Structure 1
Amino acid sequence: MIERDELTGAVVAARYRLERLIRGGADSTSVFAATDLRSNHSVIVRLVTVESIVAEGETSDAERGSLDPNQAVEAFQRHLLSVAGISHPVLVPPLDWGDTALRGERFVFIVTERIEDVSLRELLDRGRRLSASQTLVIGLDLCRALHHLHQLGITHGDVRPANVFVSPDSRARLAGIGIKRGISGTASMSIEQARYAAPEFSIEASATPESDIYALALTLLETITGDVPFAADSLAVTLANRAGKLLPVSADIGPIAVPIEKAGRPEPSDRSTAIDFGRALAQLAGKLPAPEQIASLTTESFRDTITRQLDAVVAEPAPRSAEPAVSVGVVKPADVAVIAPPAERRRYRWLWSGLAAVAVTVGGVLVWQTLNVESFEVPALSGVAEGEARNTVSQLGWNIVISVERSDDVALGEVIRTVPPTGAMLQEGDDLTLVVSEGPTLAVVPDVNGLSRDDAVAALESQGLVVAEVIRDDDAVPAGRVVSWIVTEQPNLLAGSEVLKGTRVEITVSGGPVLRNVPNLIGRSEADAQAQLVAVQLVGQRNDDVFSVDIEVGLVATQTPAVSGQLARNGVVAYSLSKGPETVELPSIVGLTLADAQKKLVEAGLSVGVTTGRTSSRVRSVTQDGTTLKAGDLVRKGTAVNLVFP
């Protein structure tokens, strides 16, 4: 495998000259600052080895393991084509892509806009930290971008500081869209990418909208604190550290801690969506000071930052008054008493007296301070933003303890009450608890399966939820009762889950049994007819066989209901098998006049066909289809016989 640095100076697709390697990509990806030789514009070119998109599962699950390199490249480019048309002011979509061979190795390349703004990664690497106000503005932009992607069914899959670029006014751009094809294998992650991986990657390797939000929460938290919670030197250890653990978001960063904590919860279903995260941040905008401009990095290089030398300042020793030299004699053994001269003994007595006086004075001050600790009245802080409340009491010497709970009356991030309450006297050094609103109280989603439609609606609306209704026929649930329900924005939630009031819950109400179309049984054998009915969960009932002119003996001649009918499950379809055509005995009509013969034939269900001879005489013989019949022969009912006269 070639070294990445060796590619500098190469020209990709006869158009893009690679100028400089940008560090920090995944093992299989190289990122270069490049020049578009056609337009002379600066661009970014990412090179991904074709081997990696086959081996590491960058293609879809259905294709994994069955694609050759050409198929893998084609699938990767199809994905890039699907995101190329995305237009959003925060997103940086791909401008060009393709595959190329460099130094004997095959790559796919992706070209994106070269953003002049500084990345969050550069800021953080140089020791910069952003204020909560600056972070909030960046977070709003990123939430809007991710919401746009998620609405289109696209997952970013690589949200991290290296892909976030900020301008001095804190406006953000999000790069990397389309670079990761929805991570399908954790093996393709770099150590840098692993720092922002959601805990569910330990069991589900595909990126999701929820994992995008988790990565965004970590990114915003790092911009304020400089730390990424639970990050380790390997993906496995990082994921193990995060499993089942809430993000340790300190209330010291202010009210922005609340939405960041919710976006970074360990269970994907407990996290905010992109739009909910953005709304929570927007609610805080009026409660934070206006963000200052982000200081430029162009005035100082990173090397200058870490190698700057400070001039050493050496303090001059304080002058000492001259003292008489003291001669030191030979050290005496420990059991020999040494008698000091009288002048030296007087000097030590004064020293000990002074020290004793100082000790008494200090002790008195400490006792006085202990007995004279100041107390202050707890001010009215209800409805005040947490940060403002902290500032209000910051000079009173109290230990501030933050407790959170939900409130329908107090806005997110504002103080609900204090402990002790307003007006109480509190000594310096004591705890003052600020109970801060975590937002409106949550609704508990009840289980309404099996309830009547009206009872289900009442139960949901009593929790402050919005109900949508769908009617669907169901064989198992009686008409008018709830078959199933779903929280439309979070389909995986179960009964007992907590959601924001106003969340939409869709209930499916049974319209009664599903009606089956009655199949056509006419002309089928009885076994075939029964199989047709069983297939649609209907029951066959055989009635007495019937005569049929058109249907062969033993086949179904009649059915009720007819083919156009509908029945519920286990509905009965009655049918009769054919006995063939009905026959009658030929009456004795030989020797009768035409009128008498015709009368007897009609009474028997027959009719007169062709007559030959003198009809004024009497019948001499009877025929049908060339066969001479005699009285008592069986003739198909309803047919005509021919009469022969002399």
Structure 2
Amino acid sequence: MDGQWSGGGTGGEGGSGGPTSSSPIGQLVDGRYRLSDVIGTGGSGTVYLAEDISLGRRVAVKVLHTAASRDPAFVRQFRAEAQAVASLNSPHVVDVYDWGVDGQAFLVTEYLGGGSLRSILASGRTLSPSQVLVLALDACRGLDHAHSRGLVPRDVKPANLLFGDDGRLRIADFGLAAAMAGEQPGSGHAGTARYASPEQARGKVVDGRSDVYALALCMVEAVTGHLPFVESTVAGTLRAREGRDVPVPDVLGPLAPVVARAGAAHPDKRPTAAEFGRMLLSMAEGMPRPEPLQLVGPGEIGASPLAGEAASVTPSVSPDAAPAPPQRPVGPRRRWPAAVLTVALVVGAVVGGTVLWENTRDVTRRLPSLVGSSGESAGTLLTQLGWVVEERFDRQDGSVQGELLEMIPAGGTPLAEGENVVIVISLGADRVAVPTGLVGVTASEAARLLDEAGLTTGEVTRGFSEETLPGLVIEVPGDASSLPLGTAVDLVLSEGPAPRSVPTGLTGMQAADVQASLLALKLVPVLVDTPGLSEVGTVVGVSPEPGTPLAVGGEIQVLVSSGPEPRPVPAVEGLSVVAADARLQAAGFRQVDVVGPADGRVTSQDPASGYLGLPQTRVTLISE
């Protein structure tokens, strides 16, 4: 993908090595992305709003500042990270469309017009605990998706928590921290210093719990406007958090003990992203409904500077500051717990460790609302909080086996330590048989069979099949003979045979062999006789050229040598033997015999001039 920058607008002339003008606005990156506006700058690069002229859509193009773009090792690392991130498929991770090196390394992502958490805080706003909860749940889903696939971003910060026009949060800059540091994925010190975990600051090997620590810092900053542990230098910032848990403010309310666990100095005491999401959910039902979040501007993809290298941090919010005018709300107003129970099973992991309300030491306390979480982990938590747990079991359509269906008394009820709490745990929904005969039918027929069985149609993908007609089911992933009522069943539909390509190495083979090879590929050879010097029956070329993709049944012209065409023997009588031989050779007649002196003149020739001969025709010259 290495290419050239093309001039356009005020961008200057094209050429390798990036833009030659101080302003690249108007230039084409990789011959495809026309830069229009700067929407963010930072320590790693500059982010531009751009138009993908091939697809006619707006994108964000991040052009990295680093001179390492000319370093082959950096380019390999950058591409490896970009490819890994592009493979992610989560609604809470910024989509990566393209990447490459065009003088400077660049990354093309979806354009997000809703701004970032950093832009919200920079506008003088802070978030309520309920708003922070919604943000953190979305972030946990994105992180859990990445961590489960072996990716650790190591650069979670407000500038990388972005919002689209739809208000949905996405995480940006996955993998760029490692590429900019020249590290292998999973290594230690990379990312922005002010959000680095203690183990990351020490250069240790990190895992997903380092991202959880950074998210806890972001949550504290989101509700207070202040980031803990920020000193005037990078080294001072890193030393300040060594061995110290993140100080969690009381303003976080019921979220405080959960955030405290996420901000533990030692990674072994922190939850995973999935566990963190589950713990946050357990507090949702008892919290106020979140107000709509007000977005403030275009997305900034990793555009904030390394504030850990400066003395200042994000300014605190003045209590006298007037509220900003309302702007775009993030989705509809939500009610607890309905909006989060859908998320509960997606975040999907068991609550780990002990969660204590550290600001409550009374004998009587309110039951946490845990419906929708894991029944086993809920029982453990309630026992650790001092209540006696009784388990009951039931089946319920729409539930997952092990899910907590009901608490008696209900969550939020004041209850003294030592009192009984009944938890009703799901045995799962009723199971139904997966219908047979799905393979080989149309998608609509498969959907009908699934609906009749009490199941639904899940994800429909497509694949190639040599035997099955396009549009018919070729596979039902999984081998379960029965599933819980209402389960979605995925289907794979046929796209017909896979495309072929014109084989290489056909030139020089015998026509019969080439014909057999193409027929075996279900391609149609069309033999075309072509005069030439090659042996009769030898393939001298094909059209289209080798490597060209073709559908099954596509025709390929096979050019087959029919041997040379006859040509007239030139007149050489009266010429010297030397001159006569030269003229015959030039005409393609290579076999010349001379009868008489070699330095004489030709008195006659056989065959006579004008005779139509072939290159192998023997010409005899008589000389005196």
TM-score, normalised relative to structure 2: 0.44
* Bigger Rg, which one: 1
TM-score, normalised relative to structure 1: 0.42
